[in-house]
Amino acid sequence: MAAEQDKQLLKVQEKIKNVSSKLSTLKKQEDKAQNKLKHIEQQYGKISQKVRRLGSQLREKKQRIREIQQDIKVQQKWLAGQEKKIAGQVKAAYILGKQEPLKLLLSQEDIGKVSRMMRYYHYFNKDRINQVQQINNSLQLLKGLEKEKQQEVLQVSSLANEQKQKQKTLVQTKYERKQLIKKIKKDSKTQKNNLSKLKRNAKKLKGLVSSLRLEKQRPVGEIKSSLPFRHLKAKMSWPIKGRIIKAFASRRVDSQWNGVLMSAKEGTKVKAIAEGQVIFADWFKGYGLLIIVKHDKDYMSLYAYNQSLYQAKGDWVSAGDVLATVGKSGGRDKPALYFEIRKKNKPINPAKWCR
């Protein structure tokens, strides 16, 4: 009987060992997938930012081409008017040409008449020289405008090609991200449930915030704010204009939300709620591209699931400065912003602080 029990115990121990080994393998696979997701989402954020910049440059170049075309039309209209004027002067020159200056001087006609004719010649020639000079200047300007237009057209073509390539890379990156998230979710089903993962991520975030609070930054006293953060309660604007889909302390599987989840279009600008220093700006497991702003020795705000980060660690920001853009990083299916305010590393309700 004892021998039989020993055999069963050995079988159970062997099963436990096998399960532990599988869990360990799956954990390594998940870590590898998460690292790849981190790389993809960071790349996606940078490419998205580049595509927006290229779009802006394209619009500026096309506007400049329109301005050049308008300038060309103005110069062409002016030249057309000068053609008529020159034609009249040519006709007058032909009439006056019958009485050349030398012929007038040698003529026996009234000296007063000769003097007047000589003045006419002088004025006429002076005006004709000015007109020719103006026409030459206009032609040079037209030549310059045409050259600038050709250069702008070439730049537009180059920017359009670059934007097309970046857009193609962006689509490919989105596809890779989608496939990777599917794999991560599939692998996750064989591991511990979402609750334990959420708790681990929350614990890691708390540990990160704790370490950041202890990390030496520039003295908080250097922040030139008109009001201390504690006096800004119920006076600050939300980081984005979006609908709150998960309220503070609402149920989350078997735990609760430490901040709020706000729905918004991907690429929406995320703004700082108050003045402070960026103490973290990087990818963080479970929260994707995360940025944390320290407002004073007690208060900080957190912004997660971003598409792109526009500030770096150590940067100083003012209320309303763009920190990031709304995204789906961290393995999310839909774009959203996760937003927290913490006092001494304890989450507090953002709805009581933002209007």
CATH code where residue 278 lies: 2.70.70.10
Choose among 307, 312, 235, 309: nearest CA to 274. 235
The reply to whether 70 and 125 lie within a common domain is: yes
**CB of 274 closer than 8 Å to CB of 255:** no
Q: Looking at 160, 188, 216, which one is the last position of a domain?
A: 188
In eight-state DSSP terms, residue 224 is: -
3-state secondary structure 47-111: HHHHHHHHHHHHHHHHHHHHHHHHHHHHHHHHHHHHHHHHHHHHHHHHHHHCCCHHHHHHCCCCH
CA 57 – CA 53 distance, rounded (Å): 6
How far from 173 is each of 42, 95, 236, CA to CA, in Å?
10, 78, 36
**CB of 281 closer than 8 Å to CB of 252:** no
Neighbouring C-beta atoms of residue 276, cutoff 10 Å? 25
The reply to whether 140 and 271 lie within a common domain is: no
Q: Is the dihedral of CA 290, 193, 22, 19 positive or negative?
A: positive
pLDDT tens-digit profile, the chain (355 residues): 445 555 555 555 555 555 555 556 666 766 777 787 787 778 778 878 877 887 888 788 788 878 878 877 887 787 777 767 766 666 655 555 545 555 555 554 555 555 665 565 556 666 666 766 776 776 787 777 778 778 877 777 777 777 778 777 777 877 777 787 777 666 655 555 554 555 566 667 767 777 776 665 544 444 555 689 999 999 999 999 999 999 999 987 667 899 999 999 999 999 999 999 999 999 998 899 999 999 999 999 999 999 999 999 999 999 999 999 999 998 888 999 999 999 998 999 999 999 8
Domain coverage including residue 94 = 2-188
The total number of structural domains in the chain stands at 2
Q: Looking at 188, 218, 253, which one is the last position of a domain?
A: 188
Q: Looking at 139, 172, 188, which one is the last position of a domain?
A: 188
CATH code where residue 67 lies: 1.10.287
The reply to whether 244 and 153 lie within a common domain is: no
The reply to whether 148 and 23 lie within a common domain is: yes
pTM of the model: 0.59
Show the tokens assigned to 155: 């730049």
